[in-house]
Chain A
Amino acid sequence: DAGITQSPRHKVTETGTPVTLRCHQTENHRYMYWYRQDPGHGLRLIHYSYGVKDTDKGEVSDGYSVSRSKTEDFLLTLESATSSQTSVYFCAISLSGTSADTQYFGPGTRLTVL
């Protein structure tokens, strides 16, 4: 695996609580992504980052925020978790950021919101 870790790997939380997921990379790649994966929907981009403190929204960004204060860390925060945010969350990285570039994925975080 590329040097990408996600924490926690599993989390169960209650509706209305804030949740922060962490992605850490050791590859020094500039671009980082947060996806969610749900049955029947495939991977959907939540937010991405093209550098420290540079982020942009993906197609399903409502209810999520991100921060990147260091090249190696990209945090995803659910401000007030809802049951619809129950999903598997994947972090990915790429070197150049173009859509032709290979994306390397972390192992995923399985989040359940009760």
Chain B
Amino acid sequence: QKEVEQDPGPLSVPEGAIVSLNCTYSNSAFQYFMWYRQYSRKGPELLMYTYSSGNKEDGRFTAQVDKSSKYISLFIRDSQPSDSATYLCARPHRSNYQLIWGAGTKLIIKP
């Protein structure tokens, strides 16, 4: 079992829709998770952190952690074609100097 799992997609939605991207994890010992966004043929870039309790909102983006089900979600409101990218979730490695990455979900926003 992978430590961080994501549906690879692609997930295709019309512009303006609310998007839900999900990630499951197998080890609940960690207090925070990250979402990175990767545009085609580019390196990933940090989108936002989320801690293991509560939601975090940043503009059109909301990150949520459900510890009981070991589920991490990223919601995008009013989705735009510029949101088309691959979204990667990551959590700390037990060594605390590395990250464990999900394989990413490819998102396509259709105009």
A residues at B contact (CB < 8 Å): 1, 4, 31, 39-45, 48, 50, 58, 90, 92, 97-100, 102-108
Contacts and interface: CB of A to CB of B under 8 A. Distances in A.
A106 B44 CA distance: 8
Contacts of B102: 42
Nearest to A96: B97
B45 A45 contact: no
Contacts, number: 58
Contact of A99 (B8, B45, B99, B103): B99
Contacts of B46: 102-103
Contacts of A104: 45
6 contacts: A41-B103, A42-B102, A99-B97, A108-B41, A108-B42, A108-B43
Contact of B43 (A31, A48, A107): A107
Contacts of B93: 99
